[in-house]
Amino acid sequence: MLQAPPEPPTGYRRVLAVPEFRVVFAAHALSLLGVVVTEIALSVLVYDLTGSPLMSALAFAVGFLPYLIGGTLLAGVADRYPARRVLVVCDLVCAACVAAMVTPGTGIAVLLLLRCALAVVSPVFAGTRMATLADILGDGDLFVLGRSLLRIVSQSALLVGFGFGGLLLTVVSPRHALLITVATFLTSAALLRLGTRRRPARSSGGGALLADSLKGARQVLADRRVRALLLLFWLPAMFAVAPEALAAPYAAELGAGSTGLGLLMCALPVGTIAGELYAGSRLRPATRQRIALPLVCCTLLPYLGYACRPGLAVSLALLTVAGAGSAYTLGLDQWFVRDVPEELRGRAMTLLTAGLMAIQGVGMALAGVAAEFAGVRGAVVGAGALGTVCCALLAVEARRTAGGPKDETGLTTM
């Protein structure tokens, strides 16, 4: 009996061969660069104006709550208006907010409000862009690899963006750096307007925007399968940030200095990039789906190594391995885009983005609280142990709600 030939791997080159995706990719990189440099420049500007480290830190961190609010209350925008229009308007709003920051005489309160406005817009932009990828690349493996490339850019921004922003501020003033970010947002808007097709809205969106957004969130969360997948995106990320949140005190304990701190902050993103690149370029689509749930159950296990009081080199290895484990997200992406109804896709992806940002903020705060009682190593070990248990329970739930055959997930039900 003849068997079908094995499914060929779909490498990143095929994704980058799609002209419209290349435009979205370039716009994403420019917009992200604008966000990163804005955060650094605004933090420095606020410190220059106030001389207060607290106000400077507040300018950097104030976006967490507005990000969640925007992703929840404005999620309906992603489905009720044409995607290209939403993306362009979001970039223009960001450019206008940053331009207002540069205006002489702008007070601290106004600067912080403008920072909040940027945070409100960000999840709408990200969710709409994610939903647009499915329109451009389809809901198959090209979508998964497109998402992976955008995540790799985001992780790379953690490694390069802050360094570039810091270097830029040694050459120009914070206000001039902000002017440069205005140009990045405007360029991103122009690319999206001229380089992507106009597509109709996914839903008619009758009624008030707020009510429509909340209704969409309820519909998304009411679906047991989609809810399980959302939690699989969110909860591992909440526990995964513990070592980064505690990197400064841990580096101090090791006597590693600022160099050690920088290496500890970079280890997870480096592992994440390596894991995504390997899974995206070397593994077949079916394999990525099959290993997703077993991998999510293992990704936090390296944190248990902190119980052995590792030195800097071993700690970096543990964090890099843990970061590489996040390659499970490629399998989750495939299930998520397949299982979310198309008319809710924009709202679901906006909710996913907002929840991911918010849950990481919660995870950082909880890691700090835990370290007060259990110490830095104890907090990281606890995050690894509790996170692994939660991931295993969620993996079982995801397996139970899966519509496909058992070999797509790699787990059996209990």
Condensed to tens digits (0 to 9), the pLDDT of residues 169-216 reads 788 888 888 999 999 999 999 999 999 999 998 877 667 888 888 888
pLDDT classification of 6: cutoffs 50, 70, 90: low
**Residue 378 amino acid letter:** G
pLDDT classification of 65: cutoffs 50, 70, 90: confident
| Residues 327 and 279 sit within 8 Å (Cβ to Cβ) | yes
Q: What is the pLDDT of residue 365?
A: 87
Q: What is the pLDDT of residue 405?
A: 42
Query: N- to C-terminal Cα distance for the chain?
Result: 35
Average pLDDT over residues 62-90: 89
pLDDT classification of 120: cutoffs 50, 70, 90: very high
Half-sphere exposure of 410 (CA within 13 A, CB side): 17
Closest CA to 287 of 328, 341, 320: 328
Whole-number mean pLDDT of the chain? Answer: 88
Other residues' Cβ atoms within 10 Å of the Cβ of residue 191: 22
Q: Within a domain: residue 277?
A: yes
Q: Within a domain: residue 128?
A: yes
In this structure, the answer to whether residues 353 and 274 fall within a common structural domain is yes
Segments in 325-406 forming alpha helices (H): 329-339, 345-401
Average pLDDT over residues 40-52: 83
Q: Structurally, how many domains does the chain consist of?
A: 2
Give the CATH number of the domain where residue 26 resides: 1.20.1250.20
In this structure, the answer to whether residues 182 and 85 fall within a common structural domain is yes
Last residue of a domain, one of 213, 243, 270: 213
Closest CA to 128 of 331, 352, 338: 352
In this structure, the answer to whether residues 333 and 351 fall within a common structural domain is yes
Q: What percent of the chain shows pLDDT beyond 70?
A: 92
Torsion angle, CA of 201/203/209/215, rounded to 10 degrees? Answer: -150
pLDDT tens track for 332-371: 999 999 999 888 899 999 999 999 988 988 898 899 999 9
Q: What is the pLDDT of residue 3?
A: 53
Q: What is the pLDDT of residue 410?
A: 44
pLDDT classification of 5: cutoffs 50, 70, 90: low
Q: Within a domain: residue 3?
A: no
pLDDT classification of 10: cutoffs 50, 70, 90: low
Tallying the residues shown for the chain, one arrives at 414
Other residues' Cβ atoms within 10 Å of the Cβ of residue 96: 15
Q: What is the pLDDT of residue 1?
A: 43
Segments in 64-107 forming alpha helices (H): 64-73, 77-80, 83-102
In this structure, the answer to whether residues 181 and 275 fall within a common structural domain is no
Whether residue 254 has pLDDT greater than 50 = yes
CA–CA distances in Å: residue 243 to residues 71, 269, 374: 26, 12, 14
Q: What percent of the chain shows pLDDT beyond 90?
A: 59
In this structure, the answer to whether residues 124 and 236 fall within a common structural domain is no
Last residue of a domain, one of 213, 245, 270: 213
Distance (Å, whole) CA 64 – CA 62: 6
Average pLDDT over residues 100-105: 89
Q: What is the pLDDT of residue 159?
A: 75
pLDDT classification of 383: cutoffs 50, 70, 90: very high
Other residues' Cβ atoms within 10 Å of the Cβ of residue 211: 12
Whether residue 247 has pLDDT greater than 70 = yes
pLDDT tens track for 288-340: 999 999 999 999 999 999 999 999 999 999 999 999 999 999 999 999 999 99
In this structure, the answer to whether residues 406 and 272 fall within a common structural domain is yes
In this structure, the answer to whether residues 227 and 190 fall within a common structural domain is no
In this structure, the answer to whether residues 304 and 178 fall within a common structural domain is no
In this structure, the answer to whether residues 313 and 250 fall within a common structural domain is yes
* Cut 0.95: pTM above it: no
Whether residue 8 has pLDDT greater than 60 = no
Closest CA to 32 of 161, 189, 132, 177: 161
Q: What is the pLDDT of residue 409?
A: 46
Distance (Å, whole) CA 43 – CA 36: 11
Q: Within a domain: residue 330?
A: yes
In this structure, the answer to whether residues 53 and 164 fall within a common structural domain is yes
pLDDT classification of 160: cutoffs 50, 70, 90: confident
Give the CATH number of the domain where residue 386 resides: 1.20.1250
In this structure, the answer to whether residues 312 and 184 fall within a common structural domain is no
Q: Within a domain: residue 246?
A: yes
Which residues, other chains included, contact 339 with Cβ-Cβ below 8 Å and sequence gap of 6+? 223, 225, 226, 229, 403
Backbone phi and psi for residue 304, each to the nearest 5 degrees, phi listed first = -65, -20
In this structure, the answer to whether residues 113 and 191 fall within a common structural domain is yes
Q: Within a domain: residue 334?
A: yes
Q: Within a domain: residue 231?
A: yes
Distance (Å, whole) CA 391 – CA 233: 10
Q: Within a domain: residue 4?
A: no
More confident residue, 164 or 370: 370
Range of the domain at 35: 12-213
